[in-house]
Amino acid sequence: MVKTNSLLGKPRPKLTFIDLFSGVGGFSLGFKEAGFEHLFGLDNWNHACDVYRKNIGECKEMNIKEFDGKKYKGKVDVLIGSPPCQDFSHANYQARNSKKGMVLVNEFMRVVKEIEPKIWIWENVKNVEKHINKITQRVHIFNSNDYGVFQHRKRCFVSNIILKPEKEHKEFLTKEQMKRVLHFNFVWHKQHFYKPIYTITANFRKGNSNPYVIENKQLRCFTISELKMIMSFPFTFNLCNKPESVCYTLLGNAVPPLLSYRIAEQLKKSLEGEKVE
């Protein structure tokens, strides 16, 4: 049913959004599924842009520093984005540099000032929390598993409003049920398939900090299809036959669409009711 303006009886226009540092489009996918109108994404990595265009829509392939948001002023309801997290991540021991990382966060905030959206949200690793001025911004730590994602993945979301997405605790298979249907199990830290696994990283084949699978008495990494499931991407999400290493990076860097969808649902209710805290 199409929602209408109660006074005029006309269809209410869809709420619009733009995604900066859009990557493969996990953040965008959740907003599209929630009924938001996608305007475009922006990223400077050609592989990410290719996949984004195939699954989401228009994507500007450019450096954020070259983007001028002034012409979109007043035309965007929500601005979302995921500035690169490498300089904040605990996993990146060689490149921890919060000042460098904040340069791109500041670029996001520059575009916020130019566009003046009703709501803005940027996302990064949990560790970024200590670099944020909590007086001027709302800071939230969400675990994707609390919203139906098959993964313990804590991330920091910073916004101009309070975010309260509805939680969705899913019941996964029990250990006994799992034994009946599968002949492999996760071995890292004695993790099993009936429990949500640890965070999927962008460099999935590197190091030993990621979960592996025993299959036919041999260890193997997750397949791309399995990674999509763990990240809550649909199996039909087209990765454009990109190299496997590229797919790991695209998926590992993404916002799980199911978590994004829960956030978008809350924002839609806030915007349609014009009750923004």
The residue from 49, 85, 156, 247 that is catalytic is 85
Q: Tell me the HSE value of 157 on the side-chain side, using a 13 A CA sphere.
A: 27
How is residue 12 annotated by DSSP?
P
Q: Does residue 247 have an active-site annotation? A: no
Q: What is the pLDDT along the chain (277 residues), one digit of tens a residue?
A: 344 444 445 566 789 999 999 999 999 999 999 999 999 999 999 999 999 999 999 999 999 999 999 999 999 999 999 998 665 555 554 445 556 678 899 999 999 999 999 999 999 988 888 777 665 689 999 999 999 888 889 999 999 999 999 998 776 666 666 565 554 444 433 444 556 777 887 776 554 455 566 666 677 778 899 889 889 999 999 999 999 999 999 999 999 999 999 999 999 988 887 554 5
Using alpha carbons only, give the angle 251, 102, 145 rounded to the nearest 5 degrees: 35
99 in helix, strand or coil? helix
Q: Are residues 138 and 39 in the same domain?
A: yes
Q: Are residues 180 and 244 in the same domain?
A: yes
Nearest to 267 by CA among 21, 7, 9, 35: 35
Bridge pairing between strands 154-159 and 138-143: antiparallel
Q: Are residues 197 and 133 in the same domain?
A: no
Q: Are residues 31 and 119 in the same domain?
A: yes
Q: Are residues 95 and 194 in the same domain?
A: no
Structural domain count of the chain? 2
Cα dihedral: 45, 46, 47, 51 (round 10)? 110
Does residue 7 lie in a domain region? Answer: no
218 in helix, strand or coil? strand
Does residue 8 lie in a domain region? Answer: no
Does residue 128 lie in a domain region? Answer: yes
Q: What is the pLDDT of residue 251?
A: 94
Does residue 10 lie in a domain region? Answer: no
Domain range for 146 = 16-167+255-272
Q: Which residue has the tokens 């915007």?
A: 271
Q: Are residues 134 and 42 in the same domain?
A: yes
Q: Are residues 163 and 182 in the same domain?
A: no
Q: Are residues 116 and 237 in the same domain?
A: no
Does residue 85 lie in a domain region? Answer: yes
- The model carries a pTM of 0.84
Residue 123 and residue 191: Cα distance in Å, rounded?
27
The tokens for 83 are: 């500035």
Residue 218, φ and ψ in degrees, nearest 5: -130, 150
Could you tell me the CATH number of the domain that includes residue 158?
3.40.50.150
10-27 in b/e burial notation, b at 16+ Cβ within 10 A? Answer: eeeeebbbbbbbbbbbbb
Does residue 239 lie in a domain region? Answer: yes
Q: Are residues 36 and 138 in the same domain?
A: yes
Q: Are residues 125 and 183 in the same domain?
A: no
